[in-house]
Amino acid sequence: MKDDFIVPLNGLAQGRTRFSLSVGKEFFERFENSEILGAGLDVGIVVEKSGRFIGVDCEIDGHVTVTCDRCLGDLRIPVSTGFALSVKFGDPDSAGEAEGGREIVVLPFTDTGLDLSQAVYDYICLSLPVQRVHEEGGCDPDTVRFLSSEDDEGLVQKDSSTPFAGLGDLLKKK
């Protein structure tokens, strides 16, 4: 599976070459601390070679499953993203700026392939919203009821032996 995301650059024919890959839960398990619990993604890669120019265009479509920030249940989020790279050979420390809307990837002369797994992972994660919650009414009702500020009775303990027992009464008087 790891080798699936290595695009062979050595011996690549002039013109366009297409690759199609599927990304599932196993792909994200390889990355440490991944918040993605499951996935069903299609990755389309087009590599264009023209003289010394090598361009890589990648489109990613499908869905991922993450944990809802509100109720901690599974949340399915659609994903539609992509990226464009220009591949150059040389000293990897001499990476330049993006050109023509493409990020530049500098590979050593000895490399024969480009590993896209990290880029695919990064762009999927970057496409996800910062706050991940179900639509209104989609969260677990028991969890929402527990978190609701309208139900102050459940949050304030009625045990008068604690030093904070009187604070609940002060809140009600306001």
For the chain, which residues make up each domain, given as ranges? 2-139, 140-174
- Indicate the average pLDDT of the chain: 84
Q: Which of these, 67, 77, 72, 83, lies nearest to 39 by C-alpha position?
A: 77
What pLDDT was estimated at residue 155?
A: 47
Cβ(19)–Cβ(45) below 8 Å: yes
Amino acid of residue 135: E
What pLDDT was estimated at residue 151?
A: 46
Confidence of residue 77 (pLDDT cuts 50, 70, 90): very high
Distances (CA, A) of 136 to 10, 127, 145, 159: 51, 22, 13, 35
Tokens standing for residue 165: 């027992």
* Residue 142: alpha-carbon gap to chain centroid: 28
Q: How far apart are CA 19 and CA 24, in angstroms?
A: 17
What pLDDT was estimated at residue 96?
A: 58
In tens, the pLDDT along 11-47 reads: 888 999 999 999 999 999 998 878 999 999 999 999 9
Indicate the range of 48-57, 117-126, 134-143 predicted with least confidence. 134-143
- Indicate the pairing of strand 103-107 with strand 74-89: parallel
What pLDDT was estimated at residue 156?
A: 47
For the segment 79-100, the average pLDDT, to the nearest whole number, is: 79
Confidence of residue 82 (pLDDT cuts 50, 70, 90): very high
Q: How far apart are CA 17 and CA 160, in angstroms?
A: 74
Indicate the range of 21-25, 48-52, 128-132 predicted with least confidence. 48-52
Decide: helix, strand or coil at residue 119: helix
For the segment 127-151, the average pLDDT, to the nearest whole number, is: 81
The DSSP secondary-structure symbol of 35 reads -
**Most trustworthy range by pLDDT among 63-67, 70-74, 86-90:** 63-67
State pTM to two decimals. Answer: 0.76
**The residue to which tokens 């990755």 are assigned:** 43
